[in-house]
Structure 1
């Protein structure tokens, strides 16, 4: 019983931390072009992203990755940030966008609508779990405890309170009940309980069974099994595919699209969000978060080679939760994992620039705005691209939002975005 509780508590605690992609703790690279092909960025990052690539480049193709941090129930101010975040993101000068942590269907639909005229081609996996429900024996103790011990708490504070004060109610949750309760974190425990009791009744009436993992074990996955990851582009998607990665808690996937924009030619694009190393959080399978990410990288690289045959211009982008150390202020994150990507032929044009900055920064106001260092874990990696590439950050500014009766300063997300402009050389 103690082991079962540890596993359940670990799952919920890891869920609470999984939106935070890093803890707070170089030679110039070619991208398949002659030496010197990576141009340093000049001027302010967001202004420079809009500038012309210069007379030696053909029409550019602009590729971006952005972790929106819309982890309802985990990160602060999701409702307050969502609308201005989506509006600002839709205004970015982007031809291809890989987003992460758009967990809820409503946020994804809002983004797709806001970018429908500029990025009309999209690809996103549907949620993995549509069914599942709870019994009164599961929900009654949890609702009673939440009303007594966690009343009035905001969404991002509710889960830690339940973990600390309502352990008895959490230990009895079945995977199907957990999946249902975590599907809409905006609702309070009593509302969720009523909805999931109805879901249980409807599923039973329809003869539905809870989803299962390979081997027959039911899957515990947050946000109805959504991966939170999606691709949006102005180019026609010629081929699309996906690989669901091994993961201990929330669903992780690699989205593959094949494009052929006239300005740069055929591109194999892989968009993903790898598991973070959640230091201090016990692993639910008595393994390690680092091993989880290592297994995901193995599967990812095999998938890349299988889809491309080891040929052609290939882009790997997303929140990879691994990255290099760059003096003076960027700390390494699982650098051995990052080096495995480079060893398979990928180059990182932005990390090679003299003005590279952290994308997960400790002074981000959404995380409290303290510290002078950070991590570079959001990447656009290239392999086999014959041309020039340079990077700039996007979505780096802060915003003031109304939270309750107070005005507070926040980041759009706990991450900053990265845009890399690709240009074929004129012959």
Structure 2
């Protein structure tokens, strides 16, 4: 099953799983009961189906169900491992590590970042105890992705580099390509275009050889971001368009949203405001359906930029407020920084340079800014050059200050919005 989904005719493989999903749900429920009577058979069934079922849940966006299924399987295997004789303990531990890693990533995708980190850390410990390089490399990729999500790019790089070495030594080309994609994303966020391009091109070559079109979505995406970072927006757009085409073929909501978001960024950069607004809103609806609060926050921050460019201040105020609220709820620093930068731009454009200055000071003091965030901060600093340097307040104090300023803007008469195209 996993081999079919990771290469070959992926749309057909995914459709076959969707057709059989009720039988597979029943089989997993039955396995939990069977494990007490025939543990070897039950554990073998889980081991055979685990990777393919995870890929299905991940690609099709069924995160909550997948999280529950893998949690149940992990509990069953954990119980079997506790009562296993010594010669079976290693096998049980390796399987439990693989289940916890997949449960951890699906938990992250449902928005529970802290529990995801706990599960993935437990999977790492189990994989190390079982001396299982395949599962350990797989787990380190997703731990690295979590650190990237939190903005700790140096720690992410360390985890991913170790995982890459393990996967290469084990000859696990699929996991190698997975980690190369994540390393490419981290390097692009750091502003290292050459390194990001190298990682993503290597990943794309392996993905093509394996027939892993789903993985190609992310290779193409990060190559497009590097091109956009270098100012080559016309080169980025066909890469984003190809990634969108593949995501639509696979009915992959996260891939579709990511591709639409990137195309919207490119449209905004080129001043195509109506197109940017439409694409950001499409991505936002998908993020909302997936429950991805951090991604929703970033999309709303970008919609605020579109509204500002169109002088639609009421829309910009609402978008900034919602973006900050979601970023705070998600507890994700990069999303909060992006929302604060959008707030700073709004406040500067509406004349509140004092609060804009406080926002700039807080963002400038934040660790782990991405290359895009550093550029946005420099642009805002150039725009509000006359504002005196302000000491950085705590992030929460600055967020509270911004909410108060937004409320004041709602009550104050603003210039009428320009007609939208």
TM-score normalized with structure 2 length: 0.27
Report which of the two structures shows the higher radius of gyration computed on alpha carbons. Answer: 2
Q: Write 1 or 2 for the structure with the bigger share of strand.
A: 1
Higher relative CO (Cα under 8 Å, sequence separation at least 6) belongs to 1
TM-score normalized with structure 1 length: 0.27
